[in-house]
């Protein structure tokens, strides 16, 4: 088995942190990792919101091509950014231990008051926009595309009072000092996969190497949760431009997985959510069933309405 591992990653600071995190674990296990930066469409097109450039795979396509050609051995992604269905010749080898899953409110104002009537929050996530409309209806939202550094610059320039971001990215970039509120994950349920790092490889990668990489990098409890959440997203015909959400947790004995997931309309008026449990071995079935139930109970109508709005825009 070869020991030198080429790690493909995007070049953003967050992506590089994640790639370095992987490299550190591989080095500790006696392998020799090397980080290879690959630029994706999502890194280049910053002037349009993600739901307009067709979000499917914009952060992953070029990395996946690198896996196919053998230019890199593994690709590192924020699990949240990985499409619900990946190409048949590739596989998700590992999901790393999850960070805190919450969304947080980040601001330079230490006394930021979420109840101020003129509150402007920066976010480009349809899920966050919809939830903010529902739970903080007095607030307005403004687009905040670009990497974390770009968004923080816009915040500093005063384009918004605060940003709504994933704790995981804020923490990895060491901006914890700017966190003013941690949004409860029961209300602001995170996006599928939020807080975990996914490792992708070609199915044709040497089996012994795959096994070794999985042993070093995979966190089995996180893997079970992500299997349930990703099955939910797949059935939801999701992608990150649909305001769906799902968060799984594993019981202390590791036997039972609980999944809370649903869908919210763009204006925040309609919210369909359910919590189901199943044996950990049935994680994918659990995700599929929960999504089917949400779709049947009005979710399909919400998705149709969203598609109609998009076509008109
Ligand atoms: N959508 C972009 C993205 N992809 C992963 C993260 C942060 C890390 C994570 O959620 O795991 C972010 C930024 C954010 O949502 O604030």
Structural domain spans, the chain: 1-96+197-218, 103-182, 219-313
Instruction: Please state which of the ranges 54-68, 223-237, 257-271 shows the lowest mean pLDDT.
Output: 54-68
Instruction: Please state which of the ranges 25-34, 41-50, 162-171 shows the lowest mean pLDDT.
Output: 41-50
Q: Does domain 1-96+197-218 have CATH number 3.40.50.300?
A: no
The model's pLDDT over 9-22, given as tens digits with 9 standing for 90+, comes to 999 999 999 999 99
Measured by CA distance, the residue closest to atom 8 of ligand 1 is: 169
The model's pLDDT over 190-224, given as tens digits with 9 standing for 90+, comes to 999 999 999 999 999 999 999 999 999 999 999 99
- CATH code for residues 103-182: 3.40.190.10
pLDDT for residue 54: 52
pLDDT for residue 61: 85
Task: Tell me the three-class secondary structure of 178-242, residue by residue.
Answer: HEEEECCCCCCCCCCCCCCEEEEEECCCCHHHHHHHHHHHCCHHHHHHHHHHHHHHHHCCCCCCC
pLDDT for residue 49: 55
With a CB cutoff of 8 Å and minimum separation 6, the contacts of 237 are 303
Please, are residues 102 and 184 in contact by the beta-carbon 8 Å criterion?
Answer: yes
Q: Is the CB of 166 under 6 A from ligand 1?
A: yes
Please, are residues 204 and 88 in contact by the beta-carbon 8 Å criterion?
Answer: no
Model confidence at 300: pLDDT above 60: yes
Model confidence at 120: pLDDT above 90: yes
Measured by CA distance, the residue closest to atom 1 of ligand 1 is: 81
Angle at 56 (CA atoms; ends 51, 62), nearest 5 degrees: 125
Model confidence at 8: pLDDT above 70: yes
* Ligand 1 nearest-atom number relative to CA 103: 16
Taking residues 32-56, what's their average pLDDT? Answer: 73
Taking residues 59-73, what's their average pLDDT? Answer: 92
Q: Do domains 1-96+197-218 and 103-182 have the same CATH topology?
A: yes
Predicted confidence band at 241 (pLDDT cuts at 50, 70, 90)? confident
Beta bridge partners of residue 249, listed in sequence order: 258
The pLDDT mean for the chain works out to 94
Q: Does domain 219-313 have CATH number 3.30.160.40?
A: yes
Given ligand 1 and candidates 100, 103, 167, 168, which is best to mutate, with the most ligand atoms within 8 Å of its CB?
168
Q: What is the pTM of this model?
A: 0.93
pLDDT for residue 94: 98
């Amino acid at each position: 088995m070869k020991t030198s591992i080429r790690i493909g990653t995007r070049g953003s600071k967050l992506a590089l942190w994640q790639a370095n995190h992987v490299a550190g674990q591989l080095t500790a296990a006696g392998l020799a990792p090397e980080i290879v930066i690959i630029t994706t469409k999502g890194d280049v097109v910053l002037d349009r919101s993600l739901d307009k450039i067709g979000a499917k795979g914009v952060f992953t396509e070029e990395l996946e091509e690198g896996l196919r050609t053998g230019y890199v051995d593994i690709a590192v992604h924020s699990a949240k950014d990985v499409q619900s269905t990946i190409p048949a010749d590739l596989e998700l080898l590992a999901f790393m231990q999850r960070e805190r899953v919450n969304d947080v409110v980040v601001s330079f104002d230490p006394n930021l008051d979420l109840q101020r009537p003129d509150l402007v929050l920066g976010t480009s996530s349809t899920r966050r926009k919809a939830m903010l409309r529902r739970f903080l209806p007095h607030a307005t939202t403004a687009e905040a595309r670009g990497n974390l550094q770009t968004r923080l610059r816009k915040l500093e320039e005063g384009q918004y009072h605060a940003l709504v971001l994933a704790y995981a990215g804020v923490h990895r970039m060491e901006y914890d000092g700017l966190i003013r509120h941690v949004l409860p994950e029961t209300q602001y349920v995170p996006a599928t996969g939020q807080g975990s790092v996914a490792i992708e490889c070609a199915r044709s990668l040497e089996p012994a190497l795959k096994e070794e990489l999985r042993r070093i990098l995979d966190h089995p409890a996180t893997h079970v949760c992500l299997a349930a959440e990703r099955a939910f997203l797949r059935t939801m015909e999701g992608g990150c431009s649909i305001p769906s959400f799902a968060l799984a947790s594993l019981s202390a004995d590791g036997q039972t997985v609980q999944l809370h997931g649903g869908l919210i309309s763009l204006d925040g008026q309609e919210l369909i959510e359910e919590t189901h449990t199943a044996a950990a071995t049935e994680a994918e079935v659990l995700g599929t069933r929960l999504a089917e139930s949400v779709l049947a109970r009005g979710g399909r109508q919400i998705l149709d309405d969203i598609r109609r709005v998009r076509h008109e825009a």
